Amino acid sequence: MQARRAARELAFILFSQFDKKITNYSKKDLEDIILKSVRILKSNATDELKTAVGSLIVMRDKIENYEADAEINLKRPIGAVNIPVQLPMTSDMIKNINDMIDIAEKALSALEIAEFTTLDSQNDVKDYTIRIAEIFHKNHKEIDDTIQKYIKNWDLTRLVKMDKDILRIAIIELIYMKDAPMKVIVDEALELAKKYSTEDSAAFINGILAKVIVDNGIN
């Protein structure tokens, strides 16, 4: 995982921890919340991996029971090793496996972010995250006004917080930081939406960011 990708996701977790106006936070507050965010990520990753392991155990037990109950094995002597048998419905197994892969990937991502942030050699993650937060601290009204401009018939306060925070981070990078390629910023905003928000969020966020890019002449 690249440092900036880790920083974007950490910034998203950081924004979710705010329980008061951004202007009330100091840099020390932000650093403390980053540490809290890393702990949350590690805890969630541990829980998700436990869930994945539990699902694997259930699947293994089902397969072993299915094999043992097959007619060819019921006829074998007690204690004899079962003969492998064909499975009837691969679709059920594929769905379960895909679910576990998704859980495992999220858990690995969270652990990578935690590792990036805690290693002294990877201070870029923490610094980039704090930079995003500090820019929002100084320009929060303008950033939120930009979002409000493009959601038109919606009130900003009614927008799903996860979508709002993803848009905030992307707009900060697109308009105020300008360090990363536009496509990378948009693609990773959409990945955050798919990972953390609703099914329709990615398309909604993509539409808003497209307007921001065109109106600000970003390329």
* CATH number where 135 lies: 1.10.940.10
Residue 126's domain comprises: 3-215
Which token pair is 211? 């307007």
Dist CA 70 CA 78 (whole Å): 14
**Cβ 6 vs Cβ 125: under 8 Å:** yes
Q: What is the pTM of this model?
A: 0.69
Backbone angles phi, psi at 196, to 5 degrees: -115, -20
Number of structural domains found in the chain: 1
Per residue of the chain (219 residues), give pLDDT as tens.
477 887 888 888 888 877 667 767 787 888 888 777 777 777 777 787 777 778 778 878 888 888 888 888 888 888 888 888 887 666 767 777 777 777 777 776 666 666 655 544 457 778 888 899 999 989 999 999 999 999 877 888 888 899 999 999 999 999 999 888 999 999 999 999 998 888 889 999 999 999 999 999 887
